[in-house]
Structure 1
Amino acid sequence: MESLTLKQARTLKEETQESMAELLNVHVQTYRKLEQNPDEVTVGQAKVISNYLGFSYDAIFFNK
């Protein structure tokens, strides 16, 4: 399984930080912080993100 950062997954699907922030119902600055520190993403947010972007949860959030 290929691992991706949150930013890589987002850009591969040609989504903006703004669109992702809207999806999660958070301010864009909050989303930017999540990309910089994905350990802060809640399980619920991680599931929404992975489903929306079409990548497995593990590929984005357990890629260490």
Structure 2
Amino acid sequence: MADPKEVLHDALRTASDLGGRRLKKFRIPAAAGLVAERIRDFSPLRQLDAYVEFERCLKQALDRLDA
């Protein structure tokens, strides 16, 4: 997958079923945030190297805050 973020954004635009001005006003970052909030099973994401790296970096940052 060349650009997973753009694939997600395209899917959100399609799923919104909006057109014209309403589609231009569609807040993709907010919609993507809702997708992230509603994910219950992260195992498919953990098959992606980029996601594994993201989790590793996030854990390191959180560990530094706890120190």
TM-score w.r.t. length of structure 2? 0.30
Tell which has more relative contact order, 1 or 2 (C-alpha 8 A, sep 6+). 1
TM-score w.r.t. length of structure 1? 0.31
Is the radius of gyration larger for structure 1 or structure 2?
A: 2
Higher helix share: 2
